[in-house]
Structure 1
Amino acid sequence: MVGIAATVLVGCGSSERPLDDREKIVRSVLGLLVSTGKPVCTDDQTAGDALAEFREMALAPRASRADLRWHAPLPLRPDARVTTQDIKRSEFNNEKLEINEPGVRKDALPGLEQLQLDGAAQRLGKSVGTIKESVAVRRSWAPPGVVGRWWPLNRLRRDCWPRFEISDPVRDRELAFVSVRAEHWGTLYALRQTSGEWRVTAEWSRWLY
């Protein structure tokens, strides 16, 4: 009986499974977003194609892609002076509303890293052999300051601003990409796996929705 009880206790103590790669990738991105010290309100399930905008811009004329570069990653935080509701209201009333552009950064990564990341994003953007799975954002592993809720609730709550939307991660063994939308801004993060952990290492030029 003592042996059986000990076995049961050991089983209960080890019930929390380790995070898989998908969860580690999303946790790393959330950790960067919340590093500003401000709370992050997000849906409790990732959704969407991480590389959709990258593929679209890759087809644009060369002049349109001149300023698209990879940079050191920074946490995305939209302009607080214009909300999504402001945009909808201006469209309904046919009013002019100016939104600050994300701006062009001058700290692009070296050329070789640009080529490596561009090549990896183009390769992983093709569906063949690419791992694309949604991730449930769980309170048990989300960084402090991150609140994940069922998506309809986030759209009803006034305190969920800005609302962050995290894409499904796309990855191979060493590289991963996750896009993030926050109200009217969006960006793409690149992650690398090192010693079993995933770390955000680069950010593509931000875009405006």
Structure 2
Amino acid sequence: MSQPALSSTPRTELRRGRARGVSDRNALYEVLDAGMICHLGVVVDGTPRVIPTAYGRIGDVLYVHGSTGARSLRDAPAQDVCVTVTHLDGIVLGRSVFHHSVNYRCAMIYGTPRLVTDPDEVLAGLRAIIERLAPGQWDAARRPTRKELAATAVVAIPLDEASVKIRQGPPVDEEDDYSLDVWAGVVPVRQVLGEPVPDPLLPPGIPVPRHVAALATTGDLR
């Protein structure tokens, strides 16, 4: 389905490498849906903190969660934050040191988080996070208790202000350097899921669920 283009703002306008910018909102969804960990940038007591955390997406809302005692989540709803998701796809080796680079897909999101208080949305946000990590796990595992929910903060971040930047392809060298006797090209980088390893405390006879076994057969994380 066609989606509205990403709206450029002073904070999301690309000033370098503008040709690598992508304004298609579907590209934003693809970068987010291919990842499992984001980095949440927030200021706590005047000092910036960048927190790696799992996330989930429902439509144009990104959900993150953590302990209600975490200052990063307690302080986030009172300020603008920056969230990034980056995928490293390749090491780009040029004929000159200057033109070495990496192939990547990156999304950067700005916004004011909202502390989720509606019980149904809390569960929906948590489900989105768990399902991003392991599709099918939400229905297989025990649901959170009231005590566990009371200790968990869920924060919603709108995807209204975001940018996407992507680099693909071979190195771009100086014209005179193409005649150099130096190898140039790309070394692909891939993240691959391995075979499930059972918990040592797992009672005997419990097989690996089909949805978990399927993770190892999905190949590269894209």
Which structure has the highest helix share of the two?
1
TM-score tier, shorter chain, comes to: under 0.3
Which structure has the highest strand share of the two?
2
What is the TM-score when the length of structure 1 is the normalising length?
0.26
From the CA coordinates, give the structure whose radius of gyration is larger.
2
